[in-house]
Structure 1
């Protein structure tokens, strides 16, 4: 642990941000996450990194193929300190002391160089505020940055990386003060200068339009430390993500191993999404009603003519929602011929109307694996549910909430340079 730069991941989710930092050579001392399903995913991925390059790695492969090893048996392959490094607790005044105690035990005398993570973004999101009559000003999640500051005070890392949605820049408290300003003032008061930029993921190798605030804090009073991240705009289209996967219709597919239907595109290799396996997992399409599938077909037909479907364009017999203003842009096709898709968000767990596959023959919404690929997760990344029973809903939610590993790695490489 002493040879590597050590970090803690707060509000870790399924580990997208952490995956990038591990690839860049950082050592995760602890992941803290309240969602049990996401913690199971973190543990499974911890097994992956622990076994990679060893003869026992085949046990991980057997597990994601559903061949003769249970999740409990897989996680038991981890040393106790690595199992204990995934802390399934909500961050808050009632739990912080317990979390501090656990992490202090894990790190021993090793210093923490970095803290990464961002509180749940729903409270700051523009969509969330538009749906809430109080514009989410009374949402306690707005103040999770106060908890974040307590971890900075306790562990005193040299740097921290705080990720969140654009809505954080405009969200205000009941007195009209911007949370973002209050947060930065708090960080400064405990000894950290902060600088930020808004990054667009499609400029960093991810075939998705996804703007996020990346705020970096540095202990001390130094300014002008924000790094320039290396951009990568691949010559690729969204079809390069989708074309090698087995064609499916609604309700078809396999939660475990599915063979590829063709060779990998250059983008899949360059992005490390296809990374040596001869199969992928969680390529299973959700079932849909006959009405939904008819709407999907109309949406794709319009898209092929260069048009977007608006709800009012549908025949009356297919209009089942009274609030047509809300549903105006509810059905959206993933643009296979374009260099990026719309943002993948956690709402994909509820339905796939905003993520319709561009192939009219398949006539369905995205599978979890397709969504994970758009988020730049590698095909050997396996998303878990709360129980051992496969959960498509939990998988979609984790994928939609994640930081794409590709941009996380690009950020991590520059942070590593600042720390060494």
Structure 2
């Protein structure tokens, strides 16, 4: 298998798995217990919290452990707005469903939601945010890097505008944390969502950075764990693995960025030079180092994925989290793409464990598949696909 779907999930590092095993076997105590077993589990959690905080230059007390990016996003939106009977939230048209769906629910409960447009690269204009803010605005939530096309948003400028009006700024940074340097203090971020399995950690665990002084209402009630913000017995093994993954990401950040960019650029160059009528989507330069998103005219993206899988290559058209809905990409729609451009989209995302030869092999297979599919495409005469190949 050649795995090029690292935006959906990443392979857990062996070192991460090994760090988890003692808390699945010998050290199985409940962290809320006061005996030795419990104390060892509590100590492990607090170490992991420090590792997570260090990756984004936060204080450990500002890290809330969650079950992943979706819960972190829901907690940020609902926790911050929970004590308001009405209000105003500003987000963008290209957010993940883990932001859009909570916003829909809040809209039903009386909140006004404004969705900022994006340009052809999927980027928000900070001036649009400034125009949209009102006295009712409770929160602004704009994702750090897009999960489909990889465009990085102007986070510093957006957060600065929010602070001018004393409005909290949240960013869904699930695709960005561990892939690029993020300093929440320098960027002026108030809340930030992280997911472990996007950076070679275990699934089912994540975190929400909450700047000191930002008050949130708990979304999950019960025994009062996580300083009363998220009740429930902690998943110690996964938390430990998450912390270890963050430590590894921080220690190898620049090396990993160079590796990912090299593979991504090689992938983009080979595809654009070897396959006709293909277009790179998202910003050409201001993009996540692991993301390459294309439109193959005259080809259905779902057909591409199925054929690639037959050759042992894993890819996707966009968000794996909403794959069962079979809906057109709202991200590409917001960028002004036509139906034909949307249906011909393919996302290829590299990881730290990929290598150059895999890129060469994947592009060779992709070229062959695209040629075969275009030979029977109703658009072949329009674009002369067969003669070009």
TM-score (norm 1): 0.24
Higher helix share: 2
TM-score for both structures, normalised by structure 2: 0.25
